[in-house]
Chain A
Amino acid sequence: MADTGARLVDVDCLTKAFGSVAAVNGVSFHVNRGEVLGFLGPNGAGKSTTMKMITGYLSPTSGTARIGGADVRTEPRAVKSRIGYLPEGAPLYGDMTPEAYLDFSARIRGLKGDDRQRRVRDVIARLQLEEVLHRRIETLSKGFKRRLGLAQALVHDPEVLILDEPTDGLDPNQKHAVRKLIAEIKTDKAIVISTHLLEEVDAICDRAIIIDHGVLVGEGTPAELRARAENHNAVALALPMQNGAKAAKVIGAMPEIARVVPTASGNMMTLIAYPKDHVFAADIVAARLRSEGIDFHELHTEAGRLDLVFRQLTIQRQVA
């Protein structure tokens, strides 16, 4: 995919200092057309500040971002017209109606006449805003507000979407609808999504980056990131209690296994065996148990949990 798509978002060593504190420190990444990039990190890691610089709201202390080749420092208007942006918390003009607000956004974006009406109607339909079109925005539910924020970001059909926590505050059905929408529109766009929800990374992101304390600490596809988890390829076993101790001893003695963690639950025993260097070991563990005549109910390999990777990458730095 990296070869076929043009590089629409190119973030180059972006740095923002507030006083002596670097909120964002030398962050570089890129997003190609047709790609959804997940932007992860703990609260206060610098995600929103990075997005504010890419969209031209804050000027970088050093480094830059280029959107479709236009440099945000020297051609802010070109950059802004190519981006659809949903800021953190989806701020809106509470005194307007959704219809007036979308019309205003479309006008400012330079859409005219029939084209404007068509685009406004299109985003209203896409985000299912029909029933609230004539109500004051401040009276709308959180779900409608968030969708209206998205509609505003999409109204000019931008090449690049920067969405700061687009599904925050939505119920599971609404989250699903937004993810479906992103999947539908992503083919000709480059999309950056910040999120706390790691399930979202699996659901919609082609690639993800993790930042912490303003520094990039991890990057890769969801599968690549998962491979960095402590429990990647760990073998999980469920077996009757009386077999537990023996099995733990047998597996623990295998040269391929680094350590075994047993947990008792009711009359069952769960063993997690961590292979050395995260190698795939389910087959040899199963073979060994069978040869020893130890019964087990279930055996599976852990793919690695993204939240573990997230914690590994972001807690290390806090300690250091």
Chain B
Amino acid sequence: MRIMFIIARRELAAYFSTPLAYVFLVTYAASAGAMTFYVGGFFASRQANLSTFFTFQPWLFLALIPAIGMRLWAEERRTGTIEILMTMPVSTWEAVGGKFIAGWAFTGIALLLTTPIWYTVNYLGSPDNGVIIASYVATFLMAGALLALASCLSALTRNQVIAFVISIAACSLMMVGGADVVVAALRKVAPAIIVDFVASASFLTHFVTITNGVLDLRDTMFFLSFIALCLFINGQLIEIKKGS
């Protein structure tokens, strides 16, 4: 755990060592706000809740999380520092976990930056803060799942741009499985069991359940086990790719 923490600390510092991190955070906070207030019609709805804010989170993350995850392993492989890291007394699991924690903490910081919006709805009315907290948890869990996927895919290549593009593609796939359009289209051609499987493996399905105010163990476990699976594959990929 100590080693994982040391690695996470270095990685998190690496995010902030370039102006990119600040650009990212500002872009995220600004677009989350803009989506909520302009696109989502926050004022027009005349409701004191954050449902418009959370509705847009998955789609914002689709572009932003791959940007956080892309450098985790691709950069390490490009520069060759992976050889230093993996010949220190560090297990693959500690390295994978440490890097993931750093990226996840970074998304956590981004989420914290949106709390003024939360404050705003409390100022304007009296929202159900329980639902909002559950939605924040759901958003954080979903961010983690997308990040784990992006981290895993970044181990496949030395090129951050390639890692970014394939991560967007993969994250989109995981996301849209539960969208109404996809489910309806699938229902025409596939048996119910497959439709149910695709829909239940979709991030959106689980995310929407939680943001509706039901933070149950099933959805939480879904995201957590998806993270664990991705990080496990991530570790395997690193082992396999070392030789090339």
Distance between Cα atoms of A100 and B6 in the complex (Å):
12
**Shortest distance from the beta carbon of A79 to any chain B beta carbon, whole Å:** 9
Stretch at the interface among A103-111, A120-128, A205-213: A103-111
Chain A interface, number of residues (Cβ within 8 angstroms): 29
B1-40 CB mask vs A (1 if < 8 Å, else 0) is 0010011001001100110000000000000000000000
CB pair A58–B243 under 8 Å, yes or no, is yes
**Closest chain A residue to B16 by CB distance?**
A95
A-B residue pair count with CB separations less than 8 angstroms: 64
CB pair B89–A57 under 8 Å, yes or no, is no
CB pair B242–A58 under 8 Å, yes or no, is yes
Name the B residues within 8 Å of A136 (CB-CB).
17
Stretch at the interface among B79-87, B128-136, B144-152: B79-87
**A87 an interface residue at 8 Å Cβ cutoff?**
yes
Identify which of residues 57-113 in chain B touch chain A, using a CB-to-CB cut-off of 8 Å: 79-81, 83-84, 86-91
CB pair B84–A85 under 8 Å, yes or no, is yes
Residue of B79, B83, B242 with most chain A CB atoms under a 10 A cut-off: B83
**Shortest distance from the beta carbon of A43 to any chain B beta carbon, whole Å:** 17
Distance between Cα atoms of A94 and B79 in the complex (Å):
9
**Shortest distance from the beta carbon of B184 to any chain A beta carbon, whole Å:** 47
Distance between Cα atoms of A18 and B242 in the complex (Å):
11
Distance between Cα atoms of A151 and B160 in the complex (Å):
29
Name the A residues within 8 Å of B89 (CB-CB).
77, 80-81, 108-110
Question: Assuming the A-B contacts A91-B83, A108-B6, A108-B7, are A96 and B88 also in contact, with contact meaning beta carbons closer than 8 angstroms in the complex?
Answer: no
Distance between Cα atoms of A40 and B9 in the complex (Å):
39
CB pair A152–B6 under 8 Å, yes or no, is no
Question: Assuming the A-B contacts A57-B242, A108-B3, are A95 and B84 also in contact, with contact meaning beta carbons closer than 8 angstroms in the complex?
Answer: no
**Shortest distance from the beta carbon of A245 to any chain B beta carbon, whole Å:** 59
Name the B residues within 8 Å of A87 (CB-CB).
80, 83-84, 87
CB pair B90–A52 under 8 Å, yes or no, is no
Name the A residues within 8 Å of B13 (CB-CB).
96, 100
CB pair B17–A96 under 8 Å, yes or no, is yes
A290-319 CB mask vs B (1 if < 8 Å, else 0) is 000000000000000000000000000000
Name the A residues within 8 Å of B14 (CB-CB).
93, 95-96
**Shortest distance from the beta carbon of A96 to any chain B beta carbon, whole Å:** 7
Contact of A104 among B10, B80, B87, B243 (CB under 8 A): B10
Identify which of residues 42-97 in chain A touch chain B, using a CB-to-CB cut-off of 8 Å: 52, 55-58, 77, 80-81, 83, 85, 87-89, 91-96
**Shortest distance from the beta carbon of A27 to any chain B beta carbon, whole Å:** 17
Interchain Cβ contacts under 8 Å between A and B, 13 examples: A57-B87, A57-B242, A58-B243, A77-B91, A80-B88, A85-B87, A87-B84, A91-B80, A91-B81, A93-B14, A95-B18, A96-B10, A96-B14
By a beta-carbon cutoff of 8 Å, the part of chain A in contact with chain B is 18, 52, 55-58, 77, 80-81, 83, 85, 87-89, 91-96, 100, 104-105, 107-110, 136, 152
Besides A81-B89, A85-B84, A92-B84, 11 more A-B contacts (Cβ < 8 Å) are A18-B243, A56-B86, A58-B242, A87-B87, A91-B81, A91-B84, A94-B79, A96-B10, A96-B14, A108-B7, A152-B84
